[in-house]
Amino acid sequence: MQQSVITDKFGRALQDLRISVTDRCNFRCRYCMPREIFGKDFVFLPKEHLLSFEEIERLAKIFLKLGVRKIRLTGGEPLLRKGIVSLIERLAALEGLQDIGLTTNAVLLGKMSDDLKAAGLKRVNVSLDAIEDETFMQINDSNYRTQPVINSIIKAKKAGLEVKVNMVVKKGMNDHQVVPMAAFFKDLSITLRYIEFMDVGQTNGWDFKHVLTKKEIFDMLSEHYSLEPVDPSYFGEVAKRYRYQGTNTEVGFITSVSESFCSSCTRARIAADGNFYTCLFAGEGFNLKDLLRSGISDEQMEETIVSRWKYREDRYSDERTEETARNRKKIEMSYIGG
C-alpha cells in the first residue's frame, strides 16, 4: 500500500493514531474520573453511540493510507470493551501497520494476555501510580490493590508482550512512591515512566502547585541511582528516556507541563463515539461517526481527515498558563483516552 505523508501547519506529519474504545472504567482515579462527577448517576455513552468494530477498522485503514504507522488503543478502560481481542486481531492484520499497543489499568490484563498476544498485540503500557496498597487504593478509589496489577504485568511479560509502566505523579498524592516504584520495577527490568500531572478535562482540580516536575523527580532518583540519557527510538517519542547506569533498564519522563513536546506531536485521536481530535487538550472534536453512517466514500473521508490535519495548529502544552488551565474548555481524559 502506498502511504502518503500529510503535514499540519507546523510541518508535523500524521503518524500515530490513538483510539479510545470505551468511556467506561472499573477505576475512579481521583485525577481522571473523580467519583463526585463519575458517580452512579453519570450517563456513559450508550452502545449505539460507540463506533462499531467495522467502523473502527474502516477508519484505521484510512488513517494508515494517510501515513499512520502506529495505533494505540485506550479508553476509559479498553479491556472492558466487549470483543476487544477480536478488534485487535482485525487491526493487527491491516497493511501498513508497524506497531499496535494498548494502555490499561491491567486489572483484566492477566487473564487476557495470551489471547491479546495471539491476536497480534505487541505492547502494553500499564498504569500504576503506587506500589503500596494504601496509596494505590486512595487513588483508584475502587478497592483495587496492587498485587493483581503486578500479577498481570508478570503474566503479560510471560505471554511475550512488551510492558512499560506509567505512573502519574501528583504532589501530596504519591510523591513518596517515586523511589519505591523505581526500586520495584528496576528489579523486574521493566521500564517505568513518570507522568507529570496534567490539566486535562474540567473535573480534576488541576493546579500547577500539584505538579512534581521531571527535574524534581530526577533529583529524587539521583539520590539513589545514576541515570544516563538514551536516544529517542522514533521521532516524536513522548517520553524522555534514561537508563540506570550499567544496565539496560530504563526510566522515562512524560513532561507535558515542564518541557512540552508539541513541536514533534504526530498524534491524532479518535474518541469512543467517533469524534476526531488533533490535540489531547482540544475543546471540540469533529464527528466522524455521523459521516461514516451517512454513507460517505473512503475517498471523501480521506479528504475530510486531510483537510482537518492540514489546518492543525494545536500546541496546547507550549501555550499552557494558569488561565488556560483554569478556563479553557477541554475534553475529559477518560473519554479522549489520554
Ligand X SMILES: C[S@@+](CC[C@H](N)C(=O)[O-])C[C@H]1O[C@@H](n2cnc3c(N)ncnc32)[C@H](O)[C@@H]1O
Ligand Y SMILES: Nc1nc2c(ncn2[C@@H]2O[C@H](COP(=O)(O)OP(=O)(O)OP(=O)(O)O)[C@@H](O)[C@H]2O)c(=O)[nH]1
Binding site for ligand SF4 (CB under 6 A): 25, 27-29, 32-33, 75-77, 105, 127, 261-262, 265, 267, 279-281, 314-317, 334
Contact indicator for 156, 146 with CB cutoff of 8 Å: no
Q: Is 255 annotated among the ligand-binding residues?
A: no
> Is residue 30 annotated as involved in ligand binding?
no
Listed in order, strand segments (DSSP E) in the chain are 16-20, 70-74, 99-104, 123-127, 162-169, 191-196, 227-230, 240-244, 250-254, 267-270, 275-277, 286-287
Q: Which is nearer to ligand SF4, 179 or 262 (CB)?
A: 262
Residues in contact with ligand X, shown as a per-residue x/- string from 1 to 30 under the rule CB under 6 A: ------------------------x-----
201 binds ligand Y (CB under 6 A): no
| Least spacing, CB of residue 325 vs ligand SF4, in Å | 12
Cell 512512591 found at: 177
Binding site partner of 101, from ligand X, ligand Y, ligand SF4, none, Cβ cut-off 5-8 A by kind = ligand Y
Annotated binding-site residue? 25: yes
Place of cell 521493566: 190
Taking the C-alpha atoms of residue 172 and residue 212, their distance in angstroms, rounded to an integer, is 9
Dihedral of alpha carbons 274, 81, 99, 314, sign: positive
Judged by CB under 6 A, does residue 166 bind ligand X?
A: yes
Contact between residue 312 and residue 277 where contact means Cβ atoms under 8 Å apart: no
Shortest distance in whole angstroms from residue 22 CB to ligand SF4: 9
- Asked if 103 interacts with ligand Y (CB under 6 A), we say yes
By beta-carbon proximity to ligand Y, the closer residue of 240 and 292 is 240
Residue from the set 6, 59, 75, 292 that interacts with ligand X by CB under 6 A: 75
- For the chain, give the number of residues: 338
Q: How far is the CB of 255 from ligand Y (least distance, A)?
A: 9
Q: How many residues bind ligand Y (CB under 6 A)?
A: 19
Nearer to ligand SF4, 260 or 304 (CB): 260
C-alpha cell at 102: 494498548
Q: Kindly report the CA angle at 217 between 216 and 218, in degrees rounded to 5? A: 90
What is the SS3 assignment for 72? Answer: strand
CA distances from 166 to 12, 129, 171, 203, 251 (A): 26, 7, 16, 21, 10
Residue closer to ligand Y, measured from CB, 112 or 239: 239
Residue 314 partner contact from ligand Y, ligand SF4, ligand X, none using kind-dependent CB cut-offs of 5 to 8 Å: ligand SF4
Kindly write out the interface string for residues 112-151 of this chain, putting x where it contacts ligand Y by CB under 6 A and - elsewhere.
-------------x--------------------------
- Which stretches of 145-300 are assigned E, i.e. beta strand? 162-169, 191-196, 227-230, 240-244, 250-254, 267-270, 275-277, 286-287
Order of strands, sheet of 250-254, starting from the edge strand that comes earlier in the sequence = 227-230, 240-244, 250-254, 191-196, 162-169, 123-127, 99-104, 70-74, 16-20, 267-270, 275-277, 286-287
127 is in an annotated binding site: yes
Region near ligand Y per CB under 6 A, out of 5-13, 23-31, 39-47, 232-240: 232-240
Nearer to ligand SF4, 66 or 268 (CB): 268
- Angle (nearest 5°) at CA 215 between 186 and 162: 35
Residue 170 touching ligand Y (CB under 6 A): no
Classify 177 as helix, strand or coil. helix
Residue 76, all three cell numbers: 476509559
Q: By the criterion CB under 6 A, which residues form the site for ligand Y?
A: 72, 74, 101, 103, 125, 164, 166, 195, 198, 237-239, 254, 256, 265, 267, 280, 317, 338
The binding site for ligand X (CB under 6 A) comprises 25, 31-32, 74-75, 77, 103-105, 127, 166, 168, 195, 197-198, 200, 204, 333-334, 337-338
